[in-house]
């Protein structure tokens, strides 16, 4: 059986680590989900620096752009609940119903935080006295 390698995502590029660690299904020790890249010190520093550079751009995005990103992520998760639930069950050894519920909750959390930006997007909609 071929085991899929899973690289790290650093500064917009998929990067193999110097080493990899297997992720084994705790419910079936014969089921290796994949080999996950282990970052070395230089890759860790590079990832931290990339995040530090990217943060000011995200911080300057408008509430509407943030709303749209969070809402799209929530919608994608909700559209893929069963697929994500299957992955969670394999990775964490959860029951399928518990894993599906976790994926469902995650999608709704993204939607919740998207809606929490409503005051920043439409502050005029919350005026008092109906004016």
Tally of structural domains, the chain: 2
Q: Are residues 32 and 49 located together in one domain of the fold?
A: yes
Quote the pTM value: 0.79
Half-sphere exposure of 102 (CA within 13 A, CB side): 16
Q: Are residues 73 and 129 located together in one domain of the fold?
A: yes
Quote the pLDDT of residue 120. Answer: 74
Measured CA distances, 47 to 8, 9, 44 (Å)? 9, 8, 5
Q: Are residues 34 and 92 located together in one domain of the fold?
A: no
pLDDT along the chain (131 residues), means of 10: 85 93 93 93 96 95 92 98 96 95 98 87 55 47
Quote the pLDDT of residue 12. Answer: 94
Quote the pLDDT of residue 23. Answer: 93
Quote the pLDDT of residue 123. Answer: 63
Q: Are residues 40 and 76 located together in one domain of the fold?
A: no
Quote the pLDDT of residue 1. Answer: 62
Q: Are residues 115 and 69 located together in one domain of the fold?
A: yes
Quote the pLDDT of residue 128. Answer: 47
Place of tokens 């994926």: 103
Domain termination residue (choose one: 60, 89, 110): 60
Quote the pLDDT of residue 130. Answer: 47
Tokens found for residue 6? 């899973």
């Amino acid at each position: 059986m071929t085991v899929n390698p899973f690289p790290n995502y650093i500064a917009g590029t998929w990067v193999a680590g110097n080493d990899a660690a297997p992720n084994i299904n705790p419910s079936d020790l014969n089921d290796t989900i994949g080999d996950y890249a282990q970052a070395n010190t230089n890759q860790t520093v590079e990832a931290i620096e990339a995040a530090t550079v990217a943060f000011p751009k995200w911080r300057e995005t408008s509430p509407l752009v943030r709303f749209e990103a969070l809402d799209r992520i929530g919608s994608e998760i909700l559209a893929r609940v069963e697929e994500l639930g299957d992955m969670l069950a394999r990775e964490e050894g959860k029951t399928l119903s518990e894993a599906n519920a976790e994926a469902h909750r995650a999608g709704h959390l993204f939607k919740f935080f998207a809606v929490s930006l409503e005051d920043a997007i439409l502050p005029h909609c919350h005026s008092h006295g109906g004016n």
